[in-house]
Amino acid sequence: MPWKIDEERLRATMPFMRDGQEIKPLFELKDGIPPVIAIPHMDFPQVVYMHPNEPFRKVEHRNANFEVVGTEMLPTEHLTKVVQDEAELKAALEAGWVKKPYLPKAPPDPNADLYGKRKATEEKC
């Protein structure tokens, strides 16, 4: 739960002047930390997510002559949408949006098949 400074109690810890005399507070700050109060939890606005259908996307890099010089596999990301009330949340969930964010997967290692045991059908070098 988030916290905020309790300004009324903080004022009570500060010394003040009255009729030219400094008046000590009723209690002092503990370890120099101001008093805090809890902020009540709010349900809205809330973020919902649209997960991608494919875990990776291919990006082709081209040179000045528009020739493909390289292809890169990048993980896909989710889309986000902010809903303001319960009706919007219900409509978004019915449309395929979800409350949990999408955690992208690492792209496949292009050198994964170079090492390790060979398949029985392959010839030995």
Dihedral sign of CA atoms 58, 61, 67, 69 in order: negative
Give the pLDDT confidence score for residue 113 in this predicted structure: 82
122: confidence class by pLDDT, cuts 50, 70, 90: low
Centroid of chain to Cα 118: 42
Q: Are 43 and 23 in contact (CB under 8 A)?
A: no
Please name the residue that has the structure tokens 């989710």. Answer: 78
Beta strand residue intervals within the chain, DSSP E: 3-5, 16-18, 21-23, 36-38, 46-50, 56-62, 68-75, 79-83
The pTM assigned to this predicted structure is: 0.53
How high is the mean pLDDT of the chain?
Answer: 82
Give the pLDDT confidence score for residue 96 in this predicted structure: 95
For the stretch 18-73, pLDDT in tens is 677 776 665 566 666 767 777 777 788 999 999 999 999 999 999 999 999 999 98
Query: For the chain, which residues make up each domain, given as ranges?
Result: 1-41, 42-102
For 3, 20, 26, 31, 93, the CA distances from 6, given in Å and listed in that order, are 9, 28, 16, 16, 38
